[in-house]
Amino acid sequence: MSEQAIEQQVTLPKYNLTPEQEKKLILRQYRALLKVLRPKFKKGDEELIRRAFEIAAEAHKTMRRKSGEPYILHPIAVAIICVEEIGLGVRSTICSLLHDTVEDTDVTIEDVEREFGGEIARIVDGLTKISNVIDTSTSQQAENFKKILLTLTDDPRVILIKLADRLHNMRTLDYMKREKQLKISSETIWVYAPLAHRMGLYNIKTELEDLSMKYLEPEGYREIAQKLSETKRERSRYINEFIKPLKEKLKKAGFNFDIYGRPKSIHSIWNKMKKKGVDFDEVYDLFAIRIIVYSSPEKEKEECWKVYSLITDEYLPSPERLRDWISNPKSNGYEALHTTVMGPQGKWVEVQIRTNRMNEIAEKGLAAHYKYKEGSADEDRFDKWFAQIREVISSQDTDSVDFLQDFKTSFLAEEIYVFTPKGDVKMLPVNSTALDFAFTIHSAIGSRCIGAKVNHKLVPISHKLRSGDQVEIITSNKQKPTEDWLKFVVTAKARAKIKDSLKEEKRNIAEDGKSILQRRLEHMNIAFNQQNIDELISFYKTPSQLDFFYNIAIKRNELKELKDAIVIGGKLEMPKLQKNVVEVKHETEYKHSSKKDSELIIFGESSDKIKYSLAKCCSPIPGDLVFGFVSTGKGLIIHRTNCPNAAQLMANYAPRIVKTKWAKNKEISFLTGVKIIGIDDVGVINKITNIISGELGINISALTIESGEGLFEGMIKVFVHDKEELEDLVNRLKQLNGIQEVQRLDDEDANFS
């Protein structure tokens, strides 16, 4: 997101226009669309656009958005994003204008096909089929997302238009209710921002991340945005000082170029602060310098490296921070040289070097990639990516959330590239293991893999690979997949093939269980039929018939309760257990609460009526923004909205999310913790404990200190009443001499119990 966009992130004004003003506004927006699209027009295109606009305007004429504005402004805005920010053309614009008509109005796919032909009808149909992913809260999220991916591999324009739709929805999210903001932002950060990144739409990915953070982490967002604004003049001065000698060198060498500095996104700064445990002032790379060289295709690589040479003549580079995506472009087409150099005043500065062609691909992603690919016989990495997705989807037989997780880790992650023994390059997601690599080569090789040689050194199948590794797989005909393999593979193909293999083995074992059950029932003169099998499956709460037979075979279920069964006319009736009834009652009660959209008070009068617990993954305390998650068997679990697992829970289990708030109760204390790093000095522990117990009167639950080489690192668990008290403690500790860092511990690493 640009600095200007950051400064514009304020609450949207309330919509209030007369019908005449509305007409003028719609016409003005439509003309703005025509203006950006006009360079792409061929004969007859403008008439088609006008017809699509007229159909959409008529279909949506009685509809309004949450802001009160005419609905037609939304499809126009989506179309402008598609043309201006993604680089799509006339047919995609028609689809954008019509993208909600079939879903929300009387217009049919047949109407669209009659007016605009089969290609546009197929894209609009794809957009209609996946519209439920954004706005509903069904348990079919993963199944719906599969539809997106199938359409993506069929025609990528569907997902590009959907990303434009999501971007405009995020830009206007201020008008939605708080719980809707959280749900949509969570979906965005969980799936749509990574998908935009994978499609090469870096600007859109960045803006989606920043806008999601605006609603999920409002305090952190406002704080960083304000500090970026306050330090803008100082940064501009430094950027000018940094690029002045580079400009002179580049001009002298005869390059035609642009050079400028741009601030890092709020979300990336926030991530760095959390990852490194530092304050805003300690984040060194708040901006990056970008150099765009205007070059002919045959000289691109040579000229980028010449520019790199000139930069490193002026400023000393950090060798481990060189990223060469020119020799090995990312699979989404991204090409550039990234280096980090030591600038004036001892500051590290990231410099990105691209040509004008590379820059357009970086800005417009897939659309620009295909534009430059036309007429080229080069291997297309996008097409390979789509082929991999098709293969995985076609072999998936589940609609569980596991599918979404597999897809995210396998296809939306950053990549590494590794080599086969013959020197062929394979692209894999970060954290891939030798076993992932084996399955990438062939399913049979993966299933028989017993080890690997990485750079000629023997390693286990769980060994994590790094970019540049050369990998040789070792196989054995006696090897077969085990359940443990699922713990360390990350690619969707490997997971799918391992699960298929385990399922086949499970089926074979289940056949033994089926025989055991048949003999047992016949011995008791009970018919072995589907009706009686279903009764047993229901009684033992087994997810499927396969699992039921398997559990019998491995003696997990010994069928002891059969002795208490009743048989009436050959029909088996198992005894009813009272505890099952109670569990169902509790589950129903929570579902009822979420449907009513009620606010549950966590503490106070209702605390004895609601079964709740505080999530260990984020350890919420009063004052934190929280939500409730209805868990099977564990009641209501309270998570912070910025919990590491929040986005996944809200995006995938929306019906089980309950709006919650804290009741004021100063009598209850909550266990939380802080991590302290500082200079190891005499009496430092005494100073820390004096502030906590002596001055603030806070009870310490545990304290561990490790020191070495002049520094100490401590973890202190304390009981506090609320977030305000914890923040006061953190600020007081930061003021102590020699203390370098104090931060809240709020995840599983803190090991709260």
Among 546, 575, 604, give the residue marking a domain's end: 575
For the chain, give me the number of helices (H) and strands (E)?
A: 31, 22
Residue among 45, 84, 103, 728 flagged as catalytic? 103
pLDDT at residue 579 in the model: 34
**Mean pLDDT within 495-512:** 87
- Residues 281 and 307 placed together within one structural domain of the fold: yes
- The helix or strand, by DSSP H or E, that contains position 300, with its residue range, turns out to be helix 300-314
Is the distance from CB of 704 to CB of 655 less than 8 angstroms?
no
In a domain, 186, yes or no: yes
Is the distance from CB of 287 to CB of 264 less than 8 angstroms?
yes
Instruction: Report the alpha-carbon distance of residue 552 to residue 509 in Å, rounded.
Output: 9
- Token pair listed for 578: 């009272």
**Mean pLDDT within 336-355:** 91
- Residues 207 and 69 placed together within one structural domain of the fold: yes
- Residues 199 and 234 placed together within one structural domain of the fold: no
pLDDT at residue 201 in the model: 85
Instruction: Report the alpha-carbon distance of residue 471 to residue 459 in Å, rounded.
Output: 10
pLDDT at residue 577 in the model: 44
Backbone angles phi, psi at 169, to 5 degrees: -60, -40
The 612-614 sheet, strands edge to edge: 600-601, 657-661, 626-631, 635-640, 612-614
- Mean pLDDT, rounded, of the chain: 80
For residue 355, what are the domain limits? Answer: 227-373
Is the distance from CB of 659 to CB of 625 less than 8 angstroms?
no
What does the angle CA 418 – CA 420 – CA 425 come to, to the nearest 5 degrees? 50
- The helix or strand, by DSSP H or E, that contains position 751, with its residue range, turns out to be none
- Token pair listed for 132: 């439920």
- Residues 22 and 162 placed together within one structural domain of the fold: yes
Cα dihedral sign, 547-549-552-554: negative
Inform me whether the pLDDT recorded for 1 exceeds 70. Answer: no
Is the distance from CB of 66 to CB of 175 less than 8 angstroms?
yes
Q: How many domains does the chain have?
A: 5
- Residues 200 and 160 placed together within one structural domain of the fold: yes
Is the distance from CB of 550 to CB of 537 less than 8 angstroms?
no
Inform me whether the pLDDT recorded for 4 exceeds 90. Answer: no
- Residues 94 and 13 placed together within one structural domain of the fold: yes
In a domain, 467, yes or no: no
Q: Parallel, antiparallel, or unpaired: how do β-strands 571-573 and 348-355 relate?
A: unpaired
- Residues 185 and 259 placed together within one structural domain of the fold: no
CATH number, domain containing residue 114: 1.10.3210.10
In a domain, 408, yes or no: no
Q: Predicted confidence band at 69 (pLDDT cuts at 50, 70, 90)?
A: confident
Half-sphere exposure of 506 (CA within 13 A, CB side): 17
Q: Predicted confidence band at 595 (pLDDT cuts at 50, 70, 90)?
A: very low
Instruction: Report the alpha-carbon distance of residue 340 to residue 322 in Å, rounded.
Output: 7
Among 315, 348, 373, give the residue marking a domain's end: 373
526, 547, 579, 580, 585 from 541: Cα distances, Å: 21, 10, 13, 10, 16
3-state secondary structure of 700: strand
pLDDT at residue 578 in the model: 34
Three state DSSP letters for 593-605 = HHHHCCCEECCCH
Farthest-apart Cα atoms in the chain, separation: 98
Instruction: Report the alpha-carbon distance of residue 341 to residue 314 in Å, rounded.
Output: 9
Burial of residue 620 (number of CB atoms within 10 Å: 0-12, 13-18, 19+) = buried
> How far from each other are the two terminal CA atoms of the chain, in whole angstroms?
40
Instruction: Report the alpha-carbon distance of residue 137 to residue 184 in Å, rounded.
Output: 11
Q: Predicted confidence band at 570 (pLDDT cuts at 50, 70, 90)?
A: low
Higher pLDDT, 12 or 263: 263
**Mean pLDDT within 398-420:** 65
67, 80, 169, 179 from 175: Cα distances, Å: 6, 21, 10, 12
Q: Which of 6, 4, 462, 416 is nearest to 221 (CA)?
A: 6
Burial of residue 684 (number of CB atoms within 10 Å: 0-12, 13-18, 19+) = buried
In a domain, 401, yes or no: no
- Establish whether 103 is a catalytic residue: yes
Q: Predicted confidence band at 602 (pLDDT cuts at 50, 70, 90)?
A: low
Residue among 22, 45, 104, 179 flagged as catalytic? 104
CATH number, domain containing residue 675: 3.30.70.260
Higher pLDDT, 12 or 422: 422
Inform me whether the pLDDT recorded for 600 exceeds 70. Answer: no
Beta-carbon count within 10 A of 492 CB: 26
Of 33-37, 328-332, 333-337, 551-555, where does mean pLDDT reach its minimum? 328-332
Higher pLDDT, 303 or 560: 303
CA 634 to chain centre: 26
8-state DSSP, 337: E
Q: Which of 401, 433, 403, 408 is nearest to 418 (CA)?
A: 433
Inform me whether the pLDDT recorded for 588 exceeds 50. Answer: no
Is the distance from CB of 193 to CB of 214 less than 8 angstroms?
no
- Establish whether 747 is a catalytic residue: no
Among 216, 249, 267, give the residue marking a domain's end: 216
What does the angle CA 488 – CA 492 – CA 495 come to, to the nearest 5 degrees? 50
Q: Which residue has the tokens 């402004």?
A: 73
- Residues 26 and 85 placed together within one structural domain of the fold: yes
In a domain, 13, yes or no: yes
In a domain, 485, yes or no: no
Half-sphere exposure of 241 (CA within 13 A, CB side): 11
- Residues 205 and 72 placed together within one structural domain of the fold: yes
